[in-house]
Amino acid sequence: MPYHFEKGPTWQVFDTFFSGADRIKAKLFVLESLWTEPRFTGFVDSFAKLPANLPLPTAPYGSGIITLADLIEHANAHWFGLPTKIGGNPASSDGYDEYDPTSSTATGFWKNWRGDAERVVRMAFIRAIEVSLGLRHPAGAYDPLTPPAQPPIPPPTSGDAITHLYADHEDPSGSPYAPTLDDAASQTSAQLATRFARNWPIEFWWLCGPRYFQASVTWRRKRLPGDPTAQNPEPPSGQPRSASDDSGRVNVVFITPGATSHVIFHDLEHPPENPPVGPRHPGGAEHAIDPARSEDRFGSWIVGHRFTESDHGGSHEPSHAGECPCPIQQWKGTGRVVTVQPRYEDGGVLLHTPY
């Protein structure tokens, strides 16, 4: 991760989950798991219930993460601060210790930050999936990790959590929906799509280096008739809901502290240093300085001063009584303004995808 902002192979995996042709199944199984499994990564186990036609993400190339099992271990150990993998199936969530809020050490591999990163990530995923499907977040829903102070909606005694939590879902248009996981595995994506108001793709980005650990969930829906600012309204609503609904898009950006193992370039014109781990992914963006073309379907550029440097000054410079030098610690950008297209393995994008 030589830049602050990236998608790269890791987040491309989640893009594939939640933007692909069978994304509605992936969303439903992950959403159910997020409400019921003690670990965020527990959703991997639910994939065993999926029909074989759901394309699991291809192994993410580069960044030292080769398989889905590597990705799960990376999430648990580095992102969530669950450092000990005692044993068991490496693709399973079993065997990891829980985050200890009483510890004074930094969580996972984050620099100078501790907190319940897993819970933040879990809620960001829940919120993003709900938005993408047009579901209203259930007030007072139980939290599988930490019970809230108020009496929560109890977990289901039978059946699935999606049916339980979203049973009173009411679509603004008045159309009846029946959100459920009940028979999702036996249904086609087209059939499942009729149960939800929409099925927007979700994409993920990562901004690394701020002091806090947060996530942003944003979305954009195409204009509809009746929207206050609709000057060029879309065709009337009431169209059949589609498994490949592209009438909107959800964006999730994880905003995190710096990571211990990552170093970024102070020079935006620094060439890529390390060869990618594993085979190059066909269609991945190549490194470019001041790129010209934007004809590809996806793109990711970083614009900034060429150089970023730390400017430090203490109070130790010699002076006389009453003249205490100001402490200074700031970053400064110098040099020309440059536009960089990161290589896919360095946080860039796939220029084209099947979905």
321 binds other proteins (CB under 8 A): yes
Minimum Å gap between C-beta 341 and other proteins is 19
Q: Residue 12 pairs with which residues in a beta bridge?
A: none
* One-letter identity of residue 219: W
326 binds other proteins (CB under 8 A): yes
257 binds other proteins (CB under 8 A): yes
**Nearer Cβ to other proteins (45/309):** 309
Minimum Å gap between C-beta 155 and other proteins is 39
293 binds other proteins (CB under 8 A): no
**Nearer Cβ to other proteins (19/256):** 256
CB 28, CB 162: distance < 8 Å: yes
323 binds other proteins (CB under 8 A): yes
209 binds other proteins (CB under 8 A): yes
The 82-121 site mask, x for binding other proteins (CB under 8 A), equals: -----------------------------xx---------
334 binds other proteins (CB under 8 A): no
322 binds other proteins (CB under 8 A): yes
Minimum Å gap between C-beta 262 and other proteins is 6
- Hey, how many other C-beta atoms are within 10 angstroms of the C-beta on 196? 23
Alpha carbons within 13 angstroms on the beta-carbon side of residue 219 total 22
275 binds other proteins (CB under 8 A): no
Q: Residue 331 pairs with which residues in a beta bridge?
A: 310
> Distance between CA 22 and CA 45 in Å, rounded?
18
317 binds other proteins (CB under 8 A): yes
Looking at residues 18 to 77 of the shown chain, list those that interact with other proteins (rule: CB under 8 A).
none
* One-letter identity of residue 248: G
CB 292, CB 244: distance < 8 Å: no
List C-alpha distances in Å: 47 to 85, 314, 329.
21, 55, 48
Burial class of residue 202 (count of CB atoms within 10 Å of its CB; 0-12, 13-18, 19+): buried
305 binds other proteins (CB under 8 A): no
Nearest to 256 by CA among 216, 208, 204: 208
Look at strands 202-208 and 214-221 and give their pairing: unpaired
How many residues would you count in the chain?
355
262 binds other proteins (CB under 8 A): yes
Minimum Å gap between C-beta 9 and other proteins is 20
4 binds other proteins (CB under 8 A): yes
Nearest to 214 by CA among 98, 301, 127: 127
Which of these ranges, 5-13, 52-60, 68-76, 253-261, lies near other proteins under the rule CB under 8 A?
253-261
| Interface with other proteins (CB under 8 A) | 2, 4, 111-112, 208-211, 257-259, 262-266, 270, 308-310, 313-331
